[in-house]
Structure 1
Amino acid sequence: MRLSTVILPIHRWGEGQKIWRRADDLGFHAAYTYDHLSWRSFRDAPWFGAIPTLTAAATATERIRLGTLVTSPNFRHPVTLAKEAVTVDDVSGGRLTIGIGAGGIGFDATALGQEAWTGKERADRFGEFLPLLDKLLRQDATTETGRYYSAVEARNIPGCVQRPRVPFYVAATGSRGLRLAAEYGQGWVTYGDPKGPADVPVEQAPAVIAGQLAKLGEACAAQGRDPRELEKVLLQGSTAERPLASLDAFVDWAGTYQELGITELVVHWPVADSIFENDQAVFERIATEGLAQLGS
């Protein structure tokens, strides 16, 4: 099992670079950031762009993997996202992971002036977005005409450092998204019950993930793919569980999900006066001792 973190893009870089470097020093497998234009309670507070932040983080770190968790079609286009991904992968020396999903109904959904898409529309768009992004990152030149997304002689030279392309971690819980994860993903991401993760009683939260893992296995079987090929990533912070309250709480929580088959846990870097407020000393102890006590 691996342990990673999410660093929200809320810090001016003079301060932000210290956090990314500290994450590198603490030994986290990866450090991700949210790819939103603004987000929930942080909407009227500082919030920077994900791709420039990851590019800067690539120059400030040496070992840690970097990525979005997650980007979506809400305000992205495959052609421009592919170009940016190739760039970050190059700057980082092949340390980029693209966490990607269908998007939601938050501020990003209407920031460009469009009406918020229905769930079906989001799924339809994602079903076209992800295959095109896959092609753009594998080929020097791509031409394709779609209902929602097209590319005309779109160049991506020299391509990704990682071959055949940067890995995709696909966030999905519905049948269509899970099929895409099984077909295109190197990893799969969940944060709990998408209908209301915080409403699920703590003792029932693992059963939700177990059910999702079973459906992922079915989707992989339909694609003729071994589900063991995919990383199974659990993003902490949306459920009623509180694994960052203490080292013991983390070890218990991590052990539960390790038994279910989760291979990577992602915890939020503490943010004071927010839903992600946690004791920094406890957090750093979890980072350095948590998996060792688990026996990983």
Structure 2
Amino acid sequence: MSLRLSTVILPVRRWHEGGRDQWQRAERLGFHTAYTYDHLSWRTFRDGPWFGAVPTLTAAAAVTERLRLGTLVTSPNFRHPVTLAKDLISLDDVSAGRITLGIGAGGNGFDATALGQEPWSPRERADRFAEFVTLLDRLLTEGAVSDRGTFYSADEARNIPGCVQSPRLPFAVAATGPRGLKLAARHGQAWVTTGDPKLFEEGTAAQSLEALRGQMAKLDKALAEIGRNPGPMEKILLTGFTPERNTLLQSVDAFVDFAGRHRELGFTELVVHAPIPDSDFAADETVFEKIATEALAQLDG
């Protein structure tokens, strides 16, 4: 089974002070896709620079040619399907069809209350996510959409000429629970996971693999329930949140070992964070570049 290697570039650098260079470097290094987080701020980066995902991806599209681009992930926390659809159609056009939308239900971080709303309960979050994805799917595939939902509505929303990619740009749906996995099965061209968060602090690599195997089994069941073949669906692991997070980028050999085990499990794409000094994503730049350029060849060899 082939495996692709992608990266996440967090939007923490000013465009003319290293931001642009990172996206161009990702293309030079041969990454399949370069993603960015779609947040208003995020965890330990809250009190530092943090730029918007859509303008950043638009700029990245203008300075790259082959690299796919995307969010990992967008959520309903501060987005509305009607305005998001217009942004995505524009992004897909600027990039000449190189955009992937990573999308998830969101969480209880800073974005959850930034617009002044009360935090949503887990049930409301799941309800909103289902309605959000379903409406967004329609908005990206139909020229005009009217819909009256519980949380999100559209009134003759026009989305002409639509996406460059047909029938729309791909969705990579982040999910681990039953309702989210059903959404991934119905609307996703790819599925995204970060692993089992309960294993983040004290879990083992073996436990993490077993948890991921269980998530994949649930995804396959959701696909089977709607009569969809699980084979063509891409399976993406956003690394950095499993028990191996502290050793993953220490050497090419360590990464190849990790990649081999997860390819065998069924993953088709691994995503690594571009290094950020003095952060949870600090790593040696030289090793990072060697992983980008040598790891897959070593794995296949």
The bucket for the TM-score relative to the shorter chain is over 0.9
Aligned to 2:277: 272
Aligned to 1:223: 226
| Cα deviation digits, residues 142-170 of structure 1 (max 9, x gap) | 00000000000001111000000000000
Matches within 5 A, 1:170-185: 170-185=173-188
Aligned to 1:9: 11
Task: Report if aligned partners of 2:75, 2:106 keep a CA contact under 8 Å in 1.
Answer: yes
Q: Which moved more, 1:201-210 or 1:122-131?
A: 201-210
Aligned to 1:123: 126
| Cα deviation digits, residues 59-80 of structure 1 (max 9, x gap) | 0111010000000000000000
Q: Which amino acid aligns with 1:48?
A: F
Gaps of 5+ in 2: none
Task: Report if aligned partners of 1:191, 1:197 keep a CA contact under 8 Å in 2.
Answer: no
Q: Which amino acid aligns with 1:163?
A: S
Deviation at 1:240? Answer: 2.1
Return the alpha-carbon distance in structure 2 between the equivalents of residues 169 and 287 of structure 1: 22
How many pairs are equivalent? 296
Q: Which amino acid aligns with 1:246?
A: S
- Normalization by structure 1: what TM-score? 0.99
Query: What is the root-mean-square deviation in Å for CA atoms of aligned residues?
Result: 0.9
Task: Report if aligned partners of 2:38, 2:52 keep a CA contact under 8 Å in 1.
Answer: yes
Residue 97 of structure 1 aligns to a residue whose secondary structure is strand
- Normalization by structure 2: what TM-score? 0.97
From 240, 247, 250, the equivalent of 1:245 is 250
Deviation at 1:229? Answer: 1.8
Aligned to 1:51: 54
Return the alpha-carbon distance in structure 2 between the equivalents of residues 46 and 263 of structure 1: 32
Task: Report if aligned partners of 1:54, 1:66 keep a CA contact under 8 Å in 2.
Answer: yes
Question: Which segments of structure 1 move beyond 6 Å, counting only runs of 4 or more?
Answer: none
Return the alpha-carbon distance in structure 1 between the equivalents of residues 106 and 239 of structure 2: 18
Matches within 5 A, 1:121-200: 121-195=124-198, 197-200=200-203
Residue 10 of structure 2 aligns to a residue whose secondary structure is coil
Q: Which amino acid aligns with 2:145?
A: T
From 90, 95, 106, the equivalent of 1:92 is 95
| Cα deviation digits, residues 77-101 of structure 1 (max 9, x gap) | 0000000000000000000000000
